[in-house]
Each structure stands twice: as C-alpha cells, then as structure tokens.
Structure 1
Amino acid sequence: MNTRVSLYQARYGSPEVTVPSAGSALIDQLLAHRSVRAYLPDPVSDDTLSAIIAAAQSAASSSNLQAWSVVAVRDTERKSRLASLAGEQEHIRQAPLLLVWLADLARLERVAGKVGEACAGLDYLEMLEVGVIDAALAAQNAVAAAESLGLGTVYIGGMRNQPEAVAAELALPPRVIAVFGLCVGTPDPQAQASVKPRPPQSVVLHQERYSLPAQDDGLAQYDGAMSAFYASQGMKVRGTWSNHSAKRIRDAGALSGRDRLVEALHRLGFPLK
C-alpha cells in the first residue's frame, strides 16, 4: 500500500479517505505524529535540546513580543514532584526530559522598566492570550523538531492542575505561568504508540461561514473511528468519543482542579482586566 495513503487512513481512522495530491516529507511526518508515554532511559543531550529550542524559537510570535519561556527539567526528584502535581502521570517520571512551557510576561515587565516605560497593558487578558499562543506555537515547532530527530513526545495539560505549586517548584516570578508540559525522549520500542484518529475535515474545515449542523455526519463517523481505536488499544472507554468528551466538560469537578484557574492566575500576578 502507498505509504502516504496509509498515513491518511491512520490519521482519519478509515480506509475510505481522500488523499490529496499535494504532499511533502514534512506533511508525512506530521501525519505520523503520535503521543508517546513510554521512554527508554537514554538522555536527551544539550546539543539536541539546543536544536529543538532553535526550532521552537523559529515559530511566529505576536508582535515579536516573545512572551514565552520554557524550563527544561531533567532532575529525577523534580520530575517526580511535578508528576504528582500533574495527576501522578508516570511517563513524566520516566521521560528523560520534561519541558515546561510558560506564558511569560515578566520579561516584558522587566524590559519596560529598563527603558523607562509603563507596563499597564500587561494587566489585560489579551496579553495572557499572547503568552499562551506564543508558547503553544513554539511548543508545536519543538514537537515537530523532536520527532524529526527520532524522539517521541506527549503534552502534559496537568501542569495546570495546581498552578501555584508548579510555579513554586520552578521558581516562577509573578506574571509567569506554566501552560503545559512536554515529555521528550526516545520511544520505548516495546510499547509502540498508535496514531490516534482525528475527525473528518468536514468537522473542522468550514468554507466561508461556520456551521454546526454541517459537522453532524462527520462527528458520527468520528465516534465510530474512535470506538474502533479504543477497542484496538484495549482502552476501557465507556460509550463513544462524544460520550467521553461530554463527561470531560460535565461540571467543575471534571476539570481536575483547573476550575480555579482564574483564582490561580490572579495569585500569580495576572489581573486579567
């Protein structure tokens, strides 16, 4: 079977998928992305990390404000404490490298002070959004770079479960918050990770104007694809993707502590006007 065809079939969880004629080695690599939660103990060298961060810094930045930073964590005990704060995710402990991506407005506050300017604009929600978006763009570049070097990754949203404790662990100053973590390491070949299907493009791609009803057929197809994926992975997920997703937004308790994120942001120096 054509490799590109198989990549598209895996990405959409269906043998009936239209494969565009446009393609490239980069697109093929992105299509093959999978979350890796089992790693060999091989360290990620400083040289490799430097290349990954250079790729991250090559991402776009809103108004070139560079409102992000990242903390590289290799220390075993610190990774273990962060794993506990993130909901006891064992792969954080196992991965040789954890990158914690930050929305960082402290640097801009410091720069403004050095040139004698006020920085009241940092108090507004817009600037936090800039930091979060900058961090996400940089991190996704880092993922692509790491995968091109044969490494595996998985994002850790659990860094937002207990933001103040994570900030204390990483010595973050006011106006800096951990947005998410990223485990990085050599995938364990004995624990092969699988490509998780994505919804049909009809769910996410809108032409000219947005439509909710136009997504219904695609979402039904996606429920089927994800049910097959759950079964193939031996995952004990009750119901469909729709059932699973609805449970994740059912109430404040389903947010794993992140329901108090606004309170945490206020405490960490973000007024959010």
Structure 2
Amino acid sequence: MSEAGLAYPRVDETDRRGSRLFDRYRQDLDLNTAWNETLDTLLAHRSVRAYTSDPVPEGTIELAVAAAQSAASSSNLQPWSVVAVEDPARKARLAALAGNQKQILQAPLFLLWIVDHHRLSRIGERAGTPADALHYLESFLLGALDTSLAAQSAVVALESIGLGTCYIGGIRNQPAEVAAELGLPPQSFALFGLTIGVPDPAAPASVKPRLPQDAVLFRETYGQAAAPSALAAYDRRLRDFQREQAMTERDWTDQASQRVRGAESLAGRDVLRDVLHGLGFQLK
C-alpha cells in the first residue's frame, strides 16, 4: 500500500493482467491499472460448450439468482424471472426448439431468462391500477435490458466459483413453442437460455479475441469507423484462434456481414414481432 493509500499490483498481478489482456485481444494492451480477482474473472470469460457429467453444487441456482438480483434494475421494477430446468426430457425438447445445440443436453442446469411483464400486470390488477405503460416498446426494451443485466451478473458469479456457462440465443427461434413448454403466462417471453455446468477438461474452451478497442471506443463523440486495416488484422487474429480450436476458419467481417444480410439470416426470428404480439406484448 502506497503512502497515498493506493494499492499497486504485485509483479505476479502485473503478469496476469498482461496475460488476460493479451488473450482477449491477441495483442498487447498497455493498461497500467490495479488488478484483482473480479477483473480476472471478467477477462477470462469464455463460452463453455462441453461439460462433465457432474451436477452443479447444491445452492448454485440460488446463488445465481442472488447475484442476478444484485444487478441494477430500472425504477426497481425487476421485470424478469428465471426458469431453472434440470429434467433431461425437458432439456431435450428445449434443445430441439433452439437449433439442437448439444450443450443444452449435456449441461446439468439450463436457466431460461424471462422478460416478465405478467407479474407487473397482475400487481396492477390487484391494485385497481391500469398497467397500460407495459404495452409500449420502451417497457419491453426495459425488460430486456434488466433481464440481460441480471443474467450477466449471474454469469460472473458462476464463473467465479469455477463453473462454465454459455448463452443460448437460439431459444428465440421458436418463442411461442418455448413459452408453451415452460408454461409461461401472457406477457412473458424467454429472452435467452444459459447452460451451466462443470467445464470438461478434455475439451477446454479458450478466450475468443474481440475487436480492438479503437474499433469500439470513442471519446466525447462518435468517431470514424474502424479502418479496413484494423478489421483485416482482427480477421487474421480470429482465424488464428479458429485454427487453434480446430474450428472452420472464417473472417469475422464475412461472418458479421452474412449474419445481418437480411431476414433469411435471422433463423426464423424475422417474425418475432408478430410472435410477441401473440404472447401479449403490444409494442406500441
């Protein structure tokens, strides 16, 4: 501890910081700040798609929910719920609805994160107060944001105790069928799933490199888009990662452009607005 009361990183902390940052960007990032276990957990994040057969420790679900409920919530509305699924048959049905992703079958725990306006609507009914504001796009967006913040807090907590996780956006491929499988009431929607389990050491996941910071960080006002040379360099770094992981090599710029090319690239989610209407969200 310095005379000014600031803690400076020890040599091993400096080395670990540099290693984590290099893994995240596949290039050195000169960041002379303190380091701690929370930062280490955050920068070590990777999507885990292979799990052992071990069950998660007792209390894992409750810990995840406690961490999730510690996230910020707009106006403290807390417009989300979570459904914990451990039954293999139900996981299999949900996996089929989400594009047959094998990690759903393999993970001992599957959490479904729900934008939940039903609870708020029922509170309004009991109080004799209309809940008309829930029918506006802003309220749905608020619900999606709060649900995402909650889930990410849970992910950090779970990874801090050695468990692996993977978000499953494919749960939105057939949202009406997912709602029926989970018995969701009107005005509730499964935003995404989250597989949880002990990472399989025989199939270790690695940290996927991200875009360089100068492509996403601007000061004061939005700046110029990333230079083609910077994106080309990122394509090369991502290909190196794919090669190491025995994955199909593909440029990020090609993958991203194909993913947003049109309705046909959305895996059936191009009709999501209509499905949400059917689930009770008016989205005015």
TM-score (norm 2): 0.92
2:263 aligned to which of 252, 255, 261: 252
Matched residue, 1:186: 198
Give the deviation of 1:49 after TM superposition.
1.4
User: Which deviates more, 71-80 or 219-228?
Assistant: 219-228
Residue identity in the other structure for 1:233: Q
- Are 1:7 and 2:8 counterparts? no
Deviation at 1:211, TM superposition (A): 2.0
Alignment of 1:138-153 (within 5 A): 138-153=150-165
Structure 1 stretches of 4+ with a deviation exceeding 4 A read 214-217
Structure 2 counterpart of 1:90:
102
Aligned to 1:172: 184
Question: Structure 1 vs Structure 2: percent identity of aligned residues?
Answer: 52
TM-score by length of 1: 0.96
Name the structure 2 match of 1:262: 273
Alpha-carbon distance in 1 for matches of 2:169, 2:224: 27
Are positions 1:33 and 2:29 aligned together?
A: no
| Matched residue type, 2:190 | A
- State the shift of 1:19 in Å: 2.9
Aligned residues: 271
Residue type matched to 1:260 in 2?
A: V
User: 2: CA distance between counterparts of 1:21 and 1:29?
Assistant: 16
Compared with structure 1, are the counterparts of its residues 46 and 116 closer, same or farther at alpha carbon in structure 2 (3 Å cutoff)?
farther
CA shift, 1:215, in A, is 5.3
Query: How far apart are the structure 1 equivalents of 2:153 and 2:24?
Result: 19
Q: Distance in 1 between matches of 2:123 and 2:249?
A: 49
Matched residue type, 2:67: A
Asked whether 1:76 is paired with 2:76, we answer no
After TM superposition, give the deviation of residue 169 of structure 1 in Å: 0.2
Using the alignment, how far apart are the partners of 1:20 and 1:34 within structure 2? 24
Map 1:52-63; keep pairs closer than 5 Å: 52-63=64-75
Q: Shift of residue 170 of structure 1?
A: 0.2
Gaps of 5+ in 2: 1-11
Please give the secondary structure, in 1, of the residue aligned with 2:165.
Answer: strand
Q: Which amino acid aligns with 1:257?
A: G
Deviation at 1:212, TM superposition (A): 3.5
Alignment of 1:92-111 (within 5 A): 92-111=104-123
| 8 Å contact from structure 2 (residues 215, 225) kept in 1 | no
Give the CA deviation at 1:48.
1.8
Q: Does structure 2 conserve the Cα–Cα contact (< 8 Å) formed by 1:177 and 1:268?
A: yes
Query: Given that residues 202 and 215 in structure 1 are in contact (C-alpha distance below 8 angstroms), is that contact kept between their aligned partners in structure 2?
Result: no
Aligned twin of 2:4? none
In the alignment, the residues of structure 2 paired with residue 214 and residue 42 of structure 1 have an alpha-carbon distance, to the nearest angstrom, of 44
Distance 2:64 2:213 in 1: 30
* Aligned-partner residue type, residue 138 of structure 1: A
Question: 1:63 and 1:87 mapped to 2: Cα distance?
Answer: 36
